[in-house]
Structure 1
Amino acid sequence: MRTLVLWDIDHTLLAVGPLTRTIYESAFTTVTGQTLAAHGVPSFAGRTDRAIITETLLMHGIETSEPLLQRLCHEFATGFGARIQEIREHGRVLPGAREALKALANRTDVVQSVLTGNMRPIAISKLAAFSLDEYVDFEVGAYGLDHGERAPLVRLAQLRAAEKYGEPFDEHSTVLVGDTPHDVRAGHHGGARVVAVATGASDEATLRQVGAELVLPDLSDTPTVITSILGTASEPS
């Protein structure tokens, strides 16, 4: 049986700095005609694009509709696609991320993808900017427009992987790697084991407190990362 490894992107594999907000502000103004208020952006960390955009509209007194949501998403994704060079210049791959992705991609007993709050085009743009896209199977990932919450994304990714690879994936054969309490809770409520990395705003103690099976300081020790991920997948509940 293969292990399905689902990576969070932002602050787990890479960081793009303030560019995300810049692109978001531009997309919001283009679509709504309003300037994004200084207090009018909810926290991005660990949340889906669908939830973030919906809440932003509500904070600005704009009635949410699916067509408006889709227009904003399209503009946001287009902005990222047009700024690949800027992402490359101002962002960075976090220590050990490339090596971990490559090591898992070379294994026949692993299916590797992403579980991210980013919508799919943005996820692809971010990873492609640093040539990380070759290591993951985007077809079996789950993304920020698939659902407003992260936990249901786990099951969705499992179903997509099962359909493509012809074998079931469950909580014993799925590992979510992320940097926030949202990631840990998503794994536990969605049906995955969790390896957390303290490379974002949450420290190791916080990630342990919310129940991560394992917490690593970062991804820099490739053998430890791989052993942690695959060992966690095989542990009984």
Structure 2
Amino acid sequence: MELIVLWDIDHTLIENAGVSKEIYAAAFAALAGTDPAEPARTEGRTDRLIMRDMFQRNGLAEPGWGAVEAALAGAGEERLHDLSRRGTALPGVRDVLKESSAHDGWVSSVLTGNIAANARVKVAAFGLDPLLELSVGAYGADALQRPGLVAVARERAQRLRGVRDDVPVVLVGDTPRDVEAALATSSGIIAVASGVHRAEELAAAGAQVVLPDLTDTARVLEILETFSAH
């Protein structure tokens, strides 16, 4: 059976060891000429919202999105080495991505608040990029709110891979916003308590499936199979 599997990146596939916050701070400083007063607030937001929030909290007008995206991309590219040195792919991720990418009829990509350039940096830092069909993913520049990214990924899967419009979509992520995006778009959700949110929080947000991590490859694939059978 066919299935579109969309993985979140930060704290689901990788631990970025604080490099993400450094990217936002550097992009802000490049645009504003001064360091931000406080770190970025992320928690599943898109890059558009994260940067807008930073400018608002610092009492500054938000630059045009083109300038913001370029600053983010530059800051991300500069930190590829730092990310690969300090961060890590989370336990079990490489195996589950290998199996998903090889599964007949499945499209395995990403749905992330990161802009596309920085999403590529983050997965490439740990050699995960060959295991994901990044061209059909959805990224932080594609929509303001996370639920809007689901339609973007589905359209790309249809256009680039010929996937039918009724093929189920499953999100895999670590925040209540991942759960909300799935519920708002009638997608499946596998919530993973590998970030800052506890399993209880993810269940309270509406996730019917919550895993502690992605180390049990067979279990993850078994759950994904149940969605593809719908």
TM-score bracket for the superposition, by shorter chain length: over 0.9
Q: How much identity, in percent, do the aligned residues show?
A: 37
How far off its partner does 1:65 sit? 4.2
Which residue of the partner structure matches residue 50 of structure 2? Answer: 52
2:28 matches 1:28: yes
Work out whether residues 153 and 190 of structure 1, in 8 Å CA contact, stay in contact via their aligned partners in 2: no
| Corresponding position of 1:95 | 91
Give runs of aligned pairs for residues 165-204 of structure 1, distance below 5 A: 165-170=161-166, 173-204=168-199
Q: CA deviation at 1:140?
A: 0.9
SS state of the match for residue 116, structure 1?
Answer: coil
1:212 paired with 2:210, answer no
RMSD value, Cα: 1.4
* Letter of the structure 1 residue corresponding to residue 18 of structure 2: P
Q: Distance in 2 between matches of 1:233 and 1:201?
A: 29
| Match in the other structure for 1:61 | 59
The residue number in structure 1 matching 2:139 is 143
Aligned residue for 1:6, secondary structure, equals strand
- Which residue of structure 2 aligns with residue 12 of structure 1? 12
Q: Could you tell me how far 1:114 is from its partner in structure 2?
A: 0.3
- 1:193: how far off? 0.7
- Number of the residue aligned with 2:227: 232
Cα separation, 1, equivalents of 2:175 and 2:26: 27
Return structure 1 stretches of 4+ with deviation > 3 angstroms: none
2:28–2:51 CA contact under 8 A, matched in 1? no
Shift in Å at residue 42 of structure 1? 4.5
- Cα distance in 1 for partners of 2:170, 2:21 equals 29
CA contact (8 A) 1:195 1:232 kept: no
- Sort the Cα spacing of 1:217 and 1:91 in 2 relative to 1 into closer, same or farther, 3 A: same
Residues 193 and 213 in structure 1, CA contact (< 8 A), matched pair in contact too: no
Q: What is the letter of the counterpart of residue 28 of structure 1?
A: F
Q: Which letter does structure 2 place at the counterpart of 1:44? A: T
Quote the offset at 1:72 in angstroms: 2.4
Q: TM-score, with normalisation over the residues of structure 1?
A: 0.92
Q: Which runs of 5+ in 2 are unaligned?
A: none
CA contact (8 A) 1:4 1:169 kept: no
8 Å CA contact 1:85–1:129 kept in 2: the answer is: yes
Contact 1:104 1:226 in 2 (8 A): yes
Per-residue CA shift, 1:44-86, capped at 9, x if unaligned? 11110000011111112222242xx322221221121122221
The alignment covers a number of residue pairs equal to 230
Change (3 A) 1:84 1:65: closer
CA contact (8 A) 1:23 1:80 kept: yes
Determine which of 77, 101, 108 is the counterpart of 1:105: 101
**1:81 maps to amino acid:** E
Q: What TM-score, normalized by structure 2, do the two folds share?
A: 0.95
Partners of 2:28 and 2:136 in 1: CA distance: 29
- Tell me the SS of whatever aligns to 2:223: helix
**Paired letter, 2:220:** V
Conservation of the 8 A alpha-carbon contact between 1:193 and 1:233 = no
1:97-117 C-alpha deviation (Å, 9 max, x unpaired): 110000111112210100000
Match for 2:190: what amino acid?
V
SS in structure 2 of the partner of residue 218 of structure 1:
coil
Give me the whole-angstrom Cα distance separating, in 2, the residues matched to 1:81 and 1:65. 21
